[in-house]
Amino acid sequence: MPLELLLLLVMLAVFAVGVFWWKLPAGLALALASIAGALTGGYGFPVRHLVEGTFGYLDAVLIIASAMIFMKAIEASGALGAINVAMIRALYRWPTLLIILVMFFVMFPGMLTGLSSACILTTGTLVTPALLAMGMPPVAVGSFVAMGAVYGMIAPPINIPVMIIGGGVDMPYIGFELPLLIATLPLAIITAVYFRARYIRTIAPDAVLAKLPPSVYGRQGAKLFLPLVVVIGVMLAVRVAPAWIPDIGVPLIFMLGAVAAWGTGERIDFLRVSRVAIRDALPIMVILVGVGMFVQIMTLTGVRGFIAVGALQLPPALLYLGIAGIMPAFGSAYAASSVLGVPLVYVFLGRNEIVVSSALSLIAGLGDLMPPPSLLCVFAAQLVGEKNHFRILRESLPLMVLSLVVGILMIIYAAQIGSMIRY
């Protein structure tokens, strides 16, 4: 057995034992797996490499922390609730359009934070009573929110799995907006129409609005949405006029938006909101620290190169089948992106790496639905009061298969897609 394969098996085994047997947080299990890999490979306890790995995804950690503070701030100010009520009041006569916009609303926190769980904890919580009042069964509502969380995590402007892949192959996070939209926007629309056609006929606005908290727009006015204008406006301005407006960094943009929420809506205890936001985001930030260590030790021991060379030797049909079957099975988009996403980009060199990375992030994102952790299914089940979260996974299977097909097709035709997109 090649030494690199033995090291990979040791690292995966320690990770699996840590998560499923010892019930450790995934980030801590990844750190232990990294140490085990270094010891098995004869590198001892490589403090320098472990520290370098710890800070490997510092930019993503800062984005997550600041974005979660922003999302919690505009939720506490009443802006998210006002948008939800306004959508239903304006569009209840057109159920298909309304459900599509509700899907985008669910996705919105994930698009800004790169966290699938942020969608369920914020907008998912807000729309669940409304969807139930529209006549959707609880299992269907859970599946709707869970799939929206996956698409929100993958959609631009913030995509953490792609940042993980890019960090591993020295590829800057530039030019991903259109490929990520291609990967998620059609799927989000199809998902919304799918649930609309199956479960919703007409919408009674009074019954739906009765399930929602009252909008504070009448009391606060248009200034309620100033934080969103600040964040979206600065992000666009930096890209449209870089010569005039300096790029102050995504974390600072989110913090400016969070500060703007102070005084533009309902009264906010900024310290408490920030504390809650960091507490909710901490498990994901710890995972990224563990992922950084894991990737660093894989590189040190030659495991990453071994995976890439082994993948190159597989027939294309088996390679695509392996990508579709193995990446989601990791149970975490971040772990799959670091272990398989990084070497797979090298496998498909020459096909447009930006499109390939976008497609791999979509496939990896489905891992957040997969057992044994099934984090999104568990969260969604808690939202709708469903005791068996596997029923939500089963309801989502057709859409997951469709997403896998889209991801594989994007990899196959990455060069053609790339040639049609101007970066």
CA separation (Å) from 322 to 47, 69, 132, 340, 341? Answer: 34, 38, 38, 11, 12
* 49-104 pLDDT tens trace: 999 988 877 877 888 888 889 888 988 999 888 888 888 888 888 999 999 999 99
Among 60, 191, 179, CA closest to 114:
60
With a cut of 80, say whether residue 19 has pLDDT above it. Answer: no
- Mean local confidence (pLDDT), 300-305: 83
With a cut of 60, say whether residue 296 has pLDDT above it. Answer: yes
- Name which of 201-215, 254-268, 348-362 the model is least confident about: 201-215
CA separation (Å) from 97 to 38, 180, 194, 321, 392? Answer: 53, 22, 12, 35, 24
With a cut of 90, say whether residue 368 has pLDDT above it. Answer: no
Confidence of residue 143 (pLDDT cuts 50, 70, 90): very high
CB 314 within 8 A of CB 326: no
Confidence at residue 97, expressed as pLDDT on a 0 to 100 scale: 94
Confidence of residue 373 (pLDDT cuts 50, 70, 90): low
Residue predicted with more confidence, 260 or 334: 260
Average pLDDT, the chain: 87
**Domain tally, the chain:** 1
Residue predicted with more confidence, 34 or 61: 34
- Name which of 142-151, 162-171, 270-279 the model is least confident about: 162-171
Tokens of 117: 């769980």
User: Which amino acid makes up residue 22?
Assistant: W
CB 376 within 8 A of CB 288: no
- Mean local confidence (pLDDT), 109-137: 86
Confidence of residue 222 (pLDDT cuts 50, 70, 90): confident
CA angle, corner 144, sides to 141 and 148, nearest 5?
140
With a cut of 90, say whether residue 106 has pLDDT above it. Answer: yes
Confidence of residue 422 (pLDDT cuts 50, 70, 90): low
CA angle, corner 372, sides to 356 and 111, nearest 5?
45
Q: How many residues does the chain have?
A: 423
Helices 390-412 and 177-199 pack at an angle, to 10 degrees, of 140
H or E element: which one contains 355? helix 353-365
Confidence at residue 34, expressed as pLDDT on a 0 to 100 scale: 92
The answer for residues whose C-beta is within 8 angstroms of residue 290's C-beta and 6 or more apart is 26, 27, 28, 29, 30, 31, 34
- Mean local confidence (pLDDT), 347-374: 88
CA angle, corner 251, sides to 169 and 254, nearest 5?
135
Confidence at residue 212, expressed as pLDDT on a 0 to 100 scale: 79
- Mean local confidence (pLDDT), 293-310: 82
Confidence of residue 372 (pLDDT cuts 50, 70, 90): low
Among 295, 348, 305, 353, CA closest to 167:
295
- Mean local confidence (pLDDT), 269-297: 86
With a cut of 80, say whether residue 129 has pLDDT above it. Answer: yes
d(CA 213, CA 233) in angstroms, rounded, equals: 28
Confidence of residue 186 (pLDDT cuts 50, 70, 90): very high
Confidence of residue 308 (pLDDT cuts 50, 70, 90): low
CB 347 within 8 A of CB 314: no
Q: Tell me what percent of the residues of the chain surpass a pLDDT of 70.
A: 98
**Domain of 250, in residue numbers:** 3-420
Burial (CB count <10 Å: 0-12, 13-18, 19+), residue 170 = exposed
Which residue intervals of 241-313 are DSSP H helices?
250-260, 270-301, 303-312
Residues 311, 312, 318, 322, CA torsion sign: positive
